[in-house]
């Protein structure tokens, strides 16, 4: 029971934080920061607690192709929601989610068929990130102009949605084996609820902006999963998780600093 409450508390806090960030800093920033290993870290950590460090390390290898399935999930959501723009918002969300889930499960099923080493998985994901950056760059960046006040009802909706998704995914991952558990740990546990909230509240365009910028922060996920795979068997769960977060943070800070310096250079040249 304590473990279930811990899952709920961690997931709710993360989703609410991302949602508020999207409203205040804009979906572009939220999209980049969604690449930080939040949902994946939550699932891999609790998989290790429930199934052991060795199980989680093996699962982490398949979390890398699981992130490729996540990229296809996001792109499918974008394509379907763009085609359904004339429908009311609820059918838009329903059809977009259905298309995204079908795509995600199909890609995950294909990856679980083949044995994969850490090196192979890492290289394949890097290629997928580059392809996604090229593919997603045509999506327009928009800002949220009219913010919705965070009433108790809105907070309760977000919290309930986060709790349900995390409990379902982590519950499934506990009994389907390390390969499928790893693939499912790549599911956008914290990003997807934020997308639904943004879509329902503001429409599809801010969600598209989040999708566009998500691959830009995925290097942090790549670094985190590699660190978990290599670090858990040596350092254990607590220290291994801490070091993995440290490595991911160094990457994300370095990336954002590089982008900031480049923007300043472009502005100065103009």
**Cβ neighbours of residue 2 closer than 8 Å, sequence gap 6 or more:** none
Amino acid 153: pLDDT: 65
- C-alpha–C-alpha distance, residues 92 and 217, integer Å: 27
Amino acid 121: pLDDT: 93
- C-alpha–C-alpha distance, residues 202 and 30, integer Å: 15
Q: Does residue 238 contact residue 87 with C-beta atoms inside 8 Å?
A: no
What is the rounded (10 degree) CA torsion for 234, 236, 252, 217?
100
Q: Does residue 45 contact residue 104 with C-beta atoms inside 8 Å?
A: no
Helix (H) or strand (E) holding 144: none
Amino acid 103: pLDDT: 96
Q: Does residue 28 contact residue 213 with C-beta atoms inside 8 Å?
A: yes
Q: Which pair of structure tokens corresponds to residue 81?
A: 């929601």
Amino acid 154: pLDDT: 64
Question: How high is the mean pLDDT in each 10-residue block of the chain (270 residues)?
Answer: 71 65 56 64 82 85 92 95 90 95 95 90 94 88 59 65 72 78 83 82 87 85 90 88 88 79 72
Amino acid 57: pLDDT: 85
Q: Does residue 231 contact residue 244 with C-beta atoms inside 8 Å?
A: yes
- C-alpha–C-alpha distance, residues 23 and 37, integer Å: 21
Nearest to 193 by CA among 43, 38, 18, 7: 18
pTM score, whole prediction? 0.82
**Cβ neighbours of residue 67 closer than 8 Å, sequence gap 6 or more:** 40, 125, 128, 186, 218, 221, 222, 225
DSSP state letter for 145? -
Report CA-CA distances (Å) from 180 to 7, 91, 114. Answer: 20, 30, 12
Amino acid 174: pLDDT: 65
Q: Which pair of structure tokens corresponds to residue 92?
A: 């838009």
**Mean confidence (pLDDT) of the chain:** 81
Amino acid 150: pLDDT: 54
């Amino acid at each position: 029971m304590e473990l279930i409450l811990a899952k709920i508390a961690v997931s709710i806090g993360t989703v609410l934080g991302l949602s508020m960030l999207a409203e205040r800093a804009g979906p572009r920033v939220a999209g980049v920061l969604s690449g930080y290993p939040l949902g994946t870290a939550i699932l891999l950590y609790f998989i290790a607690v429930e199934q052991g460090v060795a199980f989680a390390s093996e699962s982490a290898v398949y979390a890398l192709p699981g992130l490729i399935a996540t990229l296809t999930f996001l792109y499918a959501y974008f394509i379907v929601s763009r085609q359904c723009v004339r429908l009311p918002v609820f059918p838009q969300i329903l059809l977009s989610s259905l298309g995204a889930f079908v795509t995600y499960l199909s890609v995950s099923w294909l990856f679980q068929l083949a044995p994969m080493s850490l090196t192979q998985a890492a290289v394949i994901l890097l290629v997928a990130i580059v392809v996604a950056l090229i593919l997603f760059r045509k999506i327009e960046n928009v800002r949220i102009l009219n913010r919705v006040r965070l009433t108790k009802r809105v907070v309760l909706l977000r919290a309930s949605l986060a709790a349900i998704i995390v409990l379902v995914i982590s519950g499934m991952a506990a009994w389907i084996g390390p390969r499928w558990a790893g693939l499912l740990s790549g599911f956008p546990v914290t990003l997807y609820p934020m997308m639904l909230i943004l879509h329902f509240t503001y429409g599809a365009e801010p969600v598209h902006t989040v999708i566009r910028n998500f691959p830009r922060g995925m290097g942090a996920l790549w670094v985190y999963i590699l660190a978990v795979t290599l670090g858990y068997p040596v350092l254990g769960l607590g220290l291994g998780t801490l070091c993995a977060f440290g490595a991911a943070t160094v990457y994300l800070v370095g990336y954002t600093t590089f982008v900031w310096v480049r923007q300043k250079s472009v502005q100065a040249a103009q």
